[in-house]
Chain A
């Protein structure tokens, strides 16, 4: 009887040992929000989704929000640079010849934008084992983008006017210097 109890206790422990230290549990497909897989589309707004799995719920939320906003930022403007390296070599004679081909490519995307009114409109928090998996949906109203462009244009105009004003003062100073030189 004692042996049976020991075996009964050992079996679940063995399963637990086999289970720990393994891979991270994956999100079940039916747990993933529909709006994450297929973000909504609209004429007057951009939608992008982000997700993150972390031990801390607050961190998971921050990371998912940041990734969703980053996707918005890259949708608005991104500078892409690509580099492709190709290396080919053949050595040996006739049928014994060996060919070697190596291709390497590097792609870099850089974005830097100020987002006015990029809101996280939907969030879902799932648990996967001991991890929190956060899903965030960011919305960027295109009216905000238009307003931002107008503001930027106004700023540029103000800078231009300021530069123009400085230029005329410079000219005035030059004229004064000329007059002073004549006076001497």
Chain B
């Protein structure tokens, strides 16, 4: 095989891994669950064994649901600037109760699942037994850019947060991170401690500006769910929208 053919083959393979063209409708927009029920989405990449793909997707859906019910978020960001060097150090720590995972595992049921060229998708409900959603099994292409990717929705009833990531080789990791960042963004919108010291030193010739900035929060967030996702194919950006009732 000629080197050019090998290069072409690898390029096409990489593109196929990264691309995410078709998705179930409920992956783009989470349907409203009936009163007393919770919906959550799980997903996994390509597996040779479909049962393993399903297992991975269910495991992610269950952990997503546990985080949805209750999650402790610890966020800290520090930025140092001394006029020449900049150092930015954000840290994100999320933990959720193992008890919720065990409870969900005991009593959940699959509402719908889809296999696309990219992987396996599953929508679960907790407690189990909710009726099948009407729009189930509709596999579609990404819609046009939603308004929430530009401007945070305004609502008296809900708080929102947006997660954005780019340049990921795996779409599964990209969505996992976008979902987490959206949850952390919601937390920051609720309450954050902001501390900073700005200093400017000026003499006859130079002005040296230095800055130390620290922002942090440590909160337990209840009932926060990822209600919408959107993939910007043109710029390879993954967006997630997280919502929590006020």
Contact = CB atoms under 8 A, between A and B. Distances in A.
A122 B188 CA distance: 15
Interface residues of B, number: 37
Interface string A93-128: 000000001111111111111111111111111010
Contacts of B204: 101-103
A74 B196 contact: yes
A67 interface: yes
Contacts of B62: none
Contacts of B167: 56-57
B88 A73 contact: no
Contacts of A103: 203-204
A117 B37 CA distance: 28
Interface residues of A, number: 43
Q: Classify the secondary structure of A's interface with B.
A: strand
Contacts, number: 116
B199 A118 contact: no
A117 B190 contact: yes
Nearest to A102: B204
Nearest to B177: A58
A148 to B, nearest CB: 10
B237 interface: yes
A112 B189 CA distance: 17
A118 B189 contact: yes
Contacts of B235: 125, 127
A66 interface: yes
Contacts of A112: 193-195
With a 10 A CB-CB cut-off, give which of B185, B188, B237 has the most chain A CB atoms. Answer: B188
A61 B164 contact: yes
B198 interface: yes
A57 B110 CA distance: 35
A63 interface: yes
Contact of A109 (B77, B198, B215): B198
